[in-house]
């Protein structure tokens, strides 16, 4: 069950990757049309205003169509085969579902508590009585929840029935058509259940929003702690996505809410915490800017003298990536399994830092690195809210110093094998395939499979790593499922005993390996998509050889 949740969380990350860029575009549009910064140049009607308003309109695409993005993204991550067709099936089935909902409410809206469905006009920045418009269809606003449910149903249908052989006279209905036919009829009862139950759920969500919004510092601390401590399980996606992009706190999610009101907040002299108290749930990027880089510094300070140069080469890019882009996994997984207590301490420090910041009035959209923070917070809001950011910097620096000394003390006191402190014999050279194959062949009678030539591997570093990872996972025949999230390969193997050691994976340029029985995560880095594609091509070659 844990493995399924991990795969689901990773699949949800497929569309989430688009939100960072879209957020920057919208934030820049809001910044350059901020009259407090650019004066009359940013007045409505000017050419300057029109240009940036147009650019912002394009940036809003991702946020306004997020339900469709999740419908497309889940099949890409979870379909066993023909993922492009699965994505198409999911989109058309989701639209069918919403057409059913709209038609039912049009005919029987009074029975479901929405008597004036046909008369309600969808207005931007309004609750619209719980309604919305998706791809031109007026329907109930189920946000990403409806999208995930429908996508999940379609993925199950696709994985079970896409390859089903129908009688020859029904051959035209095979494949995607058959999946859609099944989905079509399943959407009728689902739409009926939605019309009956979702208005009640919306009332419940409203109550939950009120509770969370008024839970104060305790709610902020718990949220931030879970969002950090759960990263090794991959379940942190399920914690923050309903807050950031879903209806857990505000309709449409906290990030779009912040961007929509950014200009208003910039012009106001009232404290930000009074203007947007719910944005205390969006502070979890602070540890990426203030804490993760000093953790790297602590690793360097405690590294062996003969490994400091190698350690700095590993940690400097990781620290910069965390500070500027907000991607911490290359750091996280360098010590998470060598010293898990440090991970717990890091999670406690992160949650406490963010909660103290919130207590002193710091709120905003602080979820990525310093570039996003500057574009979406510091630059547009500095004129009227610089005091808030000075508080943020002060608390962040204090916790950075505290984190450095705690980590340094713990590493030395308990001799944790953090980067630079590994045993000398674990600092192995880049995996030599011939050496590894010789060892594997001596341990089993498995035959080797075809691989790209040496020249091909030398010109394509992705193929080189893909070849090594495939071999270390026990070969194509040992891999049952293969996918990825933002930085990790997610693999289900038939026999974990056929795998290579973690040290061999590291020598092949993996950051680390996570083991959950037959569910394996190979921490690769931000170019995991290219490595995955190369591995899939190699597996195709292996299958042809078989």
| Active site residue ranges | 485
CA 230 and chain centroid, separation = 13
Contacts of 67 (CB under 8 A, 6+ apart): 94, 134, 142, 143, 144, 146, 147
* Local structure of 515: helix, strand or coil: strand
Residue 223, both tokens: 């949220």
CA 416 and chain centroid, separation = 29
Residue 95, both tokens: 């639209």
3 neighbors 516 (Cβ within 8 angstroms): yes
Tell me the longest C-alpha to C-alpha distance in the chain: 77
Residue 264 CA to residue 64 CA, distance in Å, equals 20
Residue 345 CA to residue 338 CA, distance in Å, equals 14
134 neighbors 67 (Cβ within 8 angstroms): yes
Residue 476 CA to residue 346 CA, distance in Å, equals 37
* Angle of the 379-414 helix axis to the 340-359 helix axis, nearest 10: 150
Burial 30-68 (b: 16+ CB within 10 A, else e): bbbbbeebbeeebeeeeeebeebeeebeebbebbbebbb
Contacts of 101 (CB under 8 A, 6+ apart): 139, 140, 191, 194, 195
Give CA angle at 483 (477, 485), nearest 5°.
Answer: 150
Contacts of 125 (CB under 8 A, 6+ apart): 260
CB atoms within 10 A of CB 125: 10
Q: How far apart are the first and last CA of the chain?
A: 32
- Give CA separation, 174 vs 93, 178, 251, in Å: 16, 5, 40
Q: Please provide the size of the chain in residues.
A: 546
Per 3-state DSSP, the chain is made up of helix, strand and coil in percentages (nearest 5) of 70, 5, 25
162 neighbors 179 (Cβ within 8 angstroms): yes
* Local structure of 516: helix, strand or coil: strand
* Local structure of 512: helix, strand or coil: strand
């Amino acid at each position: 069950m844990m493995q399924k949740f991990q795969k689901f969380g990773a699949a949800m990350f497929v569309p989430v990757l688009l939100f960072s860029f879209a957020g920057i575009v919208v934030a820049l549009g809001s910044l350059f049309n901020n009259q407090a910064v650019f004066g009359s140049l940013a007045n409505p009607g000017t050419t300057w205003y029109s240009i940036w308003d147009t650019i912002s309109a394009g940036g809003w695409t991702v946020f306004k169509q997020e339900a469709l993005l999740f419908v497309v993204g889940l099949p890409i991550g979870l379909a066993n085969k023909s993922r492009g067709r699965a994505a198409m099936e999911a989109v058309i089935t989701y639209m069918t579902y919403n057409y059913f909902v709209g038609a039912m409410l049009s005919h029987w809206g009074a029975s479901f508590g929405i008597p004036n469905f046909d008369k309600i006009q969808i207005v931007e920045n309004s609750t619209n009585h719980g309604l919305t418009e998706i791809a031109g269809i007026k329907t109930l606003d189920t946000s990403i929840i409806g999208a995930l449910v429908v996508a999940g149903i379609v993925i199950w249908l696709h994985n079970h029935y896409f390859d089903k052989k129908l009688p020859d006279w029904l051959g035209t209905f095979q494949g995607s058509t058959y999946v859609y036919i099944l989905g079509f009829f399943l959407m009728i009862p689902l739409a009926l259940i939605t019309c009956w139950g979702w208005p009640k759920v919306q009332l419940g969500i409203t109550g939950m929003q009120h509770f969370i919004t008024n839970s104060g510092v305790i709610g902020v601390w718990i949220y931030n702690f879970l969002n950090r401590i759960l990263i090794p399980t991959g379940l942190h996606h399920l914690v923050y996505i309903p807050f950031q992009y879903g209806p857990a706190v505000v309709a449409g999610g906290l990030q779009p809410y912040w961007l929509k009101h950014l200009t208003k907040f910039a012009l106001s002299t009232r404290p930000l915490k009074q203007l947007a108290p719910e944005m205390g749930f969006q502070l979890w990027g602070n540890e990426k800017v203030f804490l993760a880089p000093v953790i790297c510094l602590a690793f360097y300070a405690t590294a062996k003298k003969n490994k400091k140069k190698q350690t700095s080469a590993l940690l400097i890019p990781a620290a910069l990536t965390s500070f500027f882009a907000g991607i911490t996994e290359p750091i996280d997984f360098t010590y998470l399994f060598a010293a898990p207590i440090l991970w717990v301490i890091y999670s406690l420090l992160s949650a406490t830092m963010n909660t103290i910041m919130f207590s002193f009035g710091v709120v905003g959209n602080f979820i990525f690195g310093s570039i996003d923070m500057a574009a979406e917070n510091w630059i547009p809001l500095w004129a009227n809210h610089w005091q808030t950011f000075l508080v943020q910097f002060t608390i962040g620096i204090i916790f950075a110093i505290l984190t450095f000394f705690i980590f340094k003390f713990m590493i030395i006191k308990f001799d944790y094998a953090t980067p630079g402190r590994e045993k000398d014999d674990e600092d192995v050279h880049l995996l030599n395939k011939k050496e590894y194959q010789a060892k594997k062949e001596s341990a089993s009678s498995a035959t080797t499979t075809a691989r790209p030539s040496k020249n091909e591997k030398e010109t394509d570093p992705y193929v080189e790593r893909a070849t090594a990872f495939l071999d270390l996972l026990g070969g194509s025949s040992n891999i049952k499922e293969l996918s990825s999230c933002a930085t990790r390969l997610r693999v289900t193997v038939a026999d974990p005993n056929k795998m290579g050691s973690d040290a061999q994976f590291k020598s092949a340029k993996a950051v680390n390996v996570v083991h959950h029985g037959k569910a394996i995560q190979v921490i690769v880095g931000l170019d995991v998509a290219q490595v995955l594609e190369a591995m899939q091509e190699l597996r195709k070659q292996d299958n042809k050889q078989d």
